[in-house]
């Protein structure tokens, strides 16, 4: 453990009964409420899967991959952490079992355990604790919120639970609080909330040596005092520490509801910290706008993973942020790019697919499945002058579409999809051609970009130099730059050395809004600090 002079407090958040209870939103909400009181906070996610990171997983397995400033491919919950707290997180903020076991095995191979038998306790548990302490001291945080993925009944999570149990012994009782999130299901047949699943969940947790200090109870209707008293009795948690967390229309309401329930006050008391005045006025204003829209705007998202909304959660939230500033409610029309390909095969019009939409957004992705559908959707947006926004693969598809149908480069493509294309307008990332690994071999993290004068992008950003996060292997091929420029495509942003194209757009006189970025602007949008390109896109959609 570091000898740093700060003495951080630790809040461990576990979950029971079922997964996807919203531990990430509760951790994020708590981060906002503590930061709004002037405390320096960081949030860490412990994921029990054996992948080193989620970068090689299908979004259908684990939702979107969120990329941090330093290029870590992380769990989508880190996106929530950043959006709620307004802070940039880093690689240390997401720890997986795969990372832990890999570290331990590498140390064993190097002989660092002095010939001893390597065991789950203390070697693996110590490595987990090291990562938790590292998050505290590298970020110099006063409070570290640690979310343990999965549920307390999962076999994969056992060593994480053991590690957070030990930390109370390591740092002292007053420096650790355990918050357990659980479900109070409502039985439709009798219309009553049932506490038994929560009782069993707490019993399992206590069997692991952890007595929860606070219960946060997810429920679809009010949790009565009688139910809270019952839970207090059977879980040995103080009555005023049994906190209701009811379903709400917007996740951004959750912090306000938890504050009203007294969660932060109970936690600060438990950790013997000062109760400071709360200032989250800008957050409250956003929530009011989200709850009281005066108009709607329908946006089509054309993607490969549209059957799972979490695959594009940062995109959706960024659209919500931008819409809220215009007092509009976003309505997403999910369009599977493979369905667009089916329209093409049958020579059907795309009017039905894009009926009533005010804008078309094509997000990122990998592989050739559904790509021709994305390209066709972009062509429809361009030809029908529907506001279009492309992200990462969406930009690459826009370049391919423009090359084929405007610049006259028949058969233009990306070498990711067609090695034998006569016009490789998108090509492999320079310097990566000999690297066959799939994990962590892309351009990842934050890179600078210089914007060109007299562009829509510069007007949106209002600054010449920007920094945005990337996650891709393939790039705009500069060999075709002049040909595409002659046909009317504008390169609106490049890397400072001029070698990498970051933003393309069409002039305002030819299209109301046609912008695509090689980077992922959705990673940096916040409810109270909307990303300028999403805002410009939504404003253009509302004009239509």
Q: Which residues are catalytic?
A: 392, 520, 522
Contact predicate 451/492, CB 8 Å: yes
142 phi/psi in degrees, rounded to 5: -80, -35
Phi, psi (5° rounding) for residue 441? -110, 20
- Report the alpha-carbon distance of residue 507 to residue 486 in Å, rounded: 13
CA dihedral 94, 98, 100, 105 (to 10 degrees): -160
Provide the token pair at 288: 């009011």
Residue 541, classed as helix, strand or coil, is: helix
Task: Name the DSSP class of 506.
Answer: -
| Cβ atoms of 121 and 128 closer than 8 Å | no
Alpha helices, DSSP H, located in 172-312? 196-207, 225-235, 254-260, 263-270, 281-291
**Rounded Cα–Cα distance for residues 427 and 259 (Å):** 51
CB 175 within 8 A of CB 271: yes
**How far are the Cα atoms of 77, 200, 218, 529 from residue 223, in angstroms, in the given order?**
26, 18, 9, 34
Run of H or E residues at 26: helix 23-35
| d(C-alpha 281, C-alpha 349), whole Å | 48
Half-sphere exposure of 541 (CA within 13 A, CB side): 31
DSSP state for residue 358 in the 8-state scheme: S
- DSSP assigned state of 193: E
Contact present, 50 and 101 (Cβ < 8 Å): yes
Q: Which residues contact 369 (CB under 8 A, 6 or more apart)?
A: 304, 338
Report in angstroms the alpha-carbon separations of 222 from 98, 202, 504.
40, 21, 50
Q: Is 164 left (phi over 0), alpha (psi -120 to 50) or beta?
A: alpha
Cα–Cα distances (Å) from 301 to 332, 396, 430, in that order, read 7, 16, 30
Phi then psi for residue 398, to 5 deg, are -65, -40
Strands 176-183 and 66-67 turn out to be: unpaired
Cis check: omega of the bond before 122, within 30 degrees of 0: yes
Classify 377 as helix, strand or coil. Answer: helix
CA nearest to 244, candidates 266, 222, 229: 222
The answer to whether 254 and 23 are in contact (CB under 8 A) is: no
Cβ burial, residue 206 (10 Å; 0-12/13-18/19+): middle
């Amino acid at each position: 453990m570091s000898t740093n002079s700060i003495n951080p407090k630790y809040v461990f958040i576990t979950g029971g009964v079922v997964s996807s209870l919203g531990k990430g939103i509760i951790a994020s909400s708590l981060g906002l409420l503590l930061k709004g009181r002037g405390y320096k906070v960081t949030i860490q996610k412990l994921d029990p899967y054996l992948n080193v990171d989620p970068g090689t997983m299908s979004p259908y397995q684990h939702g979107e991959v969120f990329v941090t400033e330093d290029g870590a491919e992380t769990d989508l919950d880190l996106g929530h952490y950043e959006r709620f707290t307004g802070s940039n997180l880093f690689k240390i903020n997401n720890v997986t079992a795969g990372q832990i076991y890999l570290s331990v095995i590498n140390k064993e191979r190097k002989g660092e355990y002095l010939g001893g038998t390597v065991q789950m306790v203390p070697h693996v548990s110590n490595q987990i604790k090291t990562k938790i302490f590292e998050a505290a001291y590298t970020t110099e945080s006063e409070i570290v919120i640690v979310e343990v993925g999965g549920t307390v009944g999962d076999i994969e999570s056992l060593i994480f639970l053991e590690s957070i149990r030990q930390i109370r012994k390591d740092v002292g009782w007053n420096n650790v609080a355990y918050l357990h999130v659980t479900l109070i299901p409502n039985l439709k047949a009798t219309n009553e909330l049932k506490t038994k699943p929560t009782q069993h969940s707490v019993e399992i947790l206590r069997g692991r040596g952890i007595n929860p200090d606070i219960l946060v109870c997810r429920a679809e209707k009010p949790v009565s005092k009688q139910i809270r008293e019952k839970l207090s009795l059977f879980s040995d948690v103080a009555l005023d520490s049994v906190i209701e967390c009811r379903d709400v229309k917007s996740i951004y309401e959750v912090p306000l509801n938890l504050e009203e329930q007294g969660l932060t006050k109970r936690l600060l008391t438990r950790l013997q910290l000062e109760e400071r005045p709360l200032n989250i006025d800008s957050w409250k204003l956003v929530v009011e706008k989200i709850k009281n829209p005066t108009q709607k705007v329908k946006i089509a998202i054309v993607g490969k993973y549209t059957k799972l909304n979490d695959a594009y959660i940062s995109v959706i939230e960024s659209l919500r942020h931008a819409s809220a500033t215009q007092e509009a409610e976003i309505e997403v029309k999910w369009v599977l790019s493979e369905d667009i390909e089916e329209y093409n095969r049958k020579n059907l019009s795309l009017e039905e697919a894009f009926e009533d939409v005010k804008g078309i957004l094509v997000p990122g992705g990998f592989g050739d499945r559904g790509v021709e559908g994305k390209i066709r959707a972009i062509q429809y947006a361009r030809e029908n002058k529907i506001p279009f926004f492309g992200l990462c693969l969406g930009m690459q598809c826009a370049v391919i579409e423009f090359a084929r149908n405007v610049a006259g480069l028949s058969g233009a493509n990306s070498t990711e999809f067609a090695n034998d294309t006569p016009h490789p307008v998108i090509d492999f990332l320079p310097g990566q051609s000999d690297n066959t690994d799939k994990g962590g071999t892309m351009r990842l993290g934050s890179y600078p970009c210089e914007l060109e004068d007299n562009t829509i992008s510069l007007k949106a950003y209002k600054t010449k130099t920007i920094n945005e996060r990337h996650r891709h292997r393939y790039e705009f091929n500069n060999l075709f730059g002049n040909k595409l420029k002659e046909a009317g495509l504008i390169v609106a942003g490049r890397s400072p050395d001029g070698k990498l194209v970051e933003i393309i757009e069409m002039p305002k006189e030819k299209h109301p809004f046609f912008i695509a970025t090689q980077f992922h602007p959705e990673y940096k949008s916040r409810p109270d600090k909307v990303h300028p390109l999403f805002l410009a896109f939504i404003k253009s959609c509302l004009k239509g």
